[in-house]
Amino acid sequence: MIIYVNQKQSVELNEGSTAENLLQALHLNAPKDGLHLEINGEKKDASHPLFDQDQVTIKDFDTPEGKEVFWHSSAHVLAQAILRLWPEAKPTIGPPIEQGFYYDFANVTISEEDFPKIEREMESIIKENFKPERLEFSSKEEALNAFAKNPYKQELIQGFAGTISGYKQGEFFDLCRGPHIPNLGKIKAFKLLKTSGAYWKGDAKKEMLTRVYGISFPDRKALKEYLQRIEEAKKRDHKVLGPKLQLFSFKEEAPGMPFIHPKGLVIWNRLLEFLRDCLEKYEYIEIKTPTMMSKELWQKSGHWNHYKENMYLSQVEEKEFAIKPMNCPGCMLFYQSTVHSYRELPLRIAEIGHVHRYEPSGALNGLFRVRAFHQDDAHVFLRPEQIQEEIVKILHLADYIYMTFGLSYKLELSTRPEKSMGTDEDWEIATQGLQQALDDWGHSYTVNEGDGAFYGPKIDIHIRDAIGRFWQCGTIQLDLSLPEKFSLEYVDSDGEHKRPIMLHRALFGSIERFLGILIEHFSGKFPLWMSSYQVAILPVADRHLPYAKELAKKLKKASLIVEIDDTKESVSKKVRKAQLLKTNYIITVGDQEETNKTLSLRTRDNVVHGEMSIDLFLTSVMQEREGKELISPFSTTPSKV
């Protein structure tokens, strides 16, 4: 029989062959190969039988699908090991996550001190090289009986519809949809990372469970590199660096709502100045809408029915209000305030709005997950034939913004989900517009079928930081819903009133989260143009303080941020203090510099340049600042006077 693989090649197999036979025929036996299998579009295990003309998609560990299956199988190994060590434990759920996997357990307490013995047991299970075996239940009752001693699994089963399955490896049997890797021997390296508490189904009213996180790879080198990245990430942690650099803090009086300190506000304002320059260049207008608006508005937008539990509510004069969780409805009201002509379109309206969303306290995470934040939103109103050109313009803007910070990125197009609003024709026009724009843009992108919003398809932009982590920041969403709900119109060239198409777009995402990402991306060592610690002047002795002040005055005149360290500490300690604050330039002044009217320079990467003229220093740093350079002109080779 003939089997078609990855839509590229055909393979001839004997009748009665399985997907595992196909992997063997293709020599996909390496640990990283043949992890994810789709047969005629459905996810299957390697044991699944093949038939003539079957279409098989095979993916390895380098793909998201391959990692997902690999990490899910690793979660089962973790659960099997814990049950061997603590037979009374109750496994609940164990999904793959963005980096690795976790498994939640009831009726057991596990600490990181237990990790070595758990890892030894996991190693033993992997050496047994079980082949995960799928078993399907004939009925829901049979499944309930199989997990009669586990109320958590029973609760899950009660909510299932359709076929219910489980997976067996050795003595371990777990409720699971699958699929799984062909054999556990493919797991060549793993590490348990941390443990924490987690509520059953994320509900604070339910039981607290023990969650164990882990990571695994098909080779030891990958694990070593991952652990090195983790250590590097710890050094860059914005929750540590931010307070140390006096950029922001959190207070008990306002949980999840950051206080931006003066040093942090310097960076904040530079980001906003940069953003507003971009908005002006790309012909946006900017508005500001109220923070609190009436219940009726949120009912009209749909948020009251679908998002109320995440909104902060208030009552004024016996009327209900809500603090806005997003900017969109306010922009709809602004659009309604005047009659619009087709000649105005595309109409680009930006708002850097302060929004509030209730997040459970356990989900809060520094600047990455907060309850109050500023979104750099824009809503673009346009005609259907303008979609493609406008998307390309937004992608150009996104590219310029991210490249300014040295951030590469990847693009994802998400298409119509099962539940959606709008006609087939609307969705076809919208999706084709986004896809054609991406094709014209020329960058590679992936398609997430069925992962769009209910109101329209979208493009997500994932930025990649200095240590290879991806962050979902930018988004371009085509909305077929809000213009309809708010009866938005424009007068077309034929005099007819027509409904505009609307694009949501955000590129920073939120200013707070983007600031957190930048702190970690730059490890606190911001480029000069946005740094809040630009120049530190260190007088060698008290007698050099007047010259230090004279020099500071000249540098401040050039709009540089300058601080003089006039403490009684030694010069070496002053240098160390400036370096810990990630100061771009550290200037020492002593007898020679005062006599020659020069300065002695070193950079924060500890390159000593020695004595140089003030004019040379100013000329160089002005060019660096105006050009928003990522690398200092003094970073590698010492300058001369």
Rg (CA), the chain: 29
Whether the CB-CB separation of 73 and 184 falls below 8 Å is answered with yes
Q: How far apart are CA 140 and CA 162, in angstroms?
A: 9
Q: Give CA 598 to chain center in angstroms.
A: 46
User: Cis (ω within 30 of 0) for the bond into 258?
Assistant: no
Checking 303-308 for CB contacts under 8 A at 24+ apart, the result is: 303/329
Q: How far apart are CA 609 and CA 368, in angstroms?
A: 38
Active-site residue, selected from the candidate residues 90, 186, 379, 521: 379
Structure tokens given for 613: 């003229």
Please report, for residues 545, 550, 566, the alpha-carbon distance to residue 588 in angstroms, rounded to integers and kept in the order given. Answer: 11, 13, 11
- Angle, helix 545-557 to helix 614-626, in steps of 10 degrees: 40
Active-site residue, selected from the candidate residues 59, 324, 340, 504: 504
| Burial of residue 614, with CB atoms counted within 10 A of its CB: 0-12 exposed, 13-18 middle, 19 or more buried | middle
Q: Give CA 82 to chain center in angstroms.
A: 31
Identify the three-state secondary structure at position 169.
Answer: strand
458 as an active site residue: the answer is: yes
Whether the CB-CB separation of 91 and 105 falls below 8 Å is answered with yes
- Extended beta strands in 515-558, E state: 535-539
377 as an active site residue: the answer is: yes
Beta bridge partners of 196: 211
Identify the three-state secondary structure at position 202.
Answer: helix
Active-site residue, selected from the candidate residues 44, 45, 174, 328: 328
Active-site residue, selected from the candidate residues 357, 374, 416, 609: 357
| Cα atoms in the 13 Å half-sphere on the side-chain side of 113 | 1
Write the DSSP assignment of 349-379 as a string of letters: EEEEEEEE----GGG-BTTTB-SEEEEEEEE
| Burial of residue 460, with CB atoms counted within 10 A of its CB: 0-12 exposed, 13-18 middle, 19 or more buried | buried
Structure tokens given for 463: 């930025």
Give the list of residues 6+ apart from residue 515 with CB closer than 8 angstroms, or none: 238, 247, 248, 264, 267, 268, 271, 367
Active-site residue, selected from the candidate residues 375, 435, 477, 534: 375
For residue 615, give the nearest of 531, 558, 573 by alpha carbon: 558
Structure tokens given for 246: 């006096």
Active-site residue, selected from the candidate residues 45, 377, 426, 479: 377
End-to-end, the C-alpha distance of the chain in Å comes to 78
464 as an active site residue: the answer is: no
Active-site residue, selected from the candidate residues 76, 211, 238, 458: 458
Structure tokens given for 507: 């590129």
Structure tokens given for 567: 């403490």
328 as an active site residue: the answer is: yes
Give the list of residues 6+ apart from residue 569 with CB closer than 8 angstroms, or none: 577
473 as an active site residue: the answer is: no
Catalytic residues: 328, 357, 375, 377, 379, 458, 504
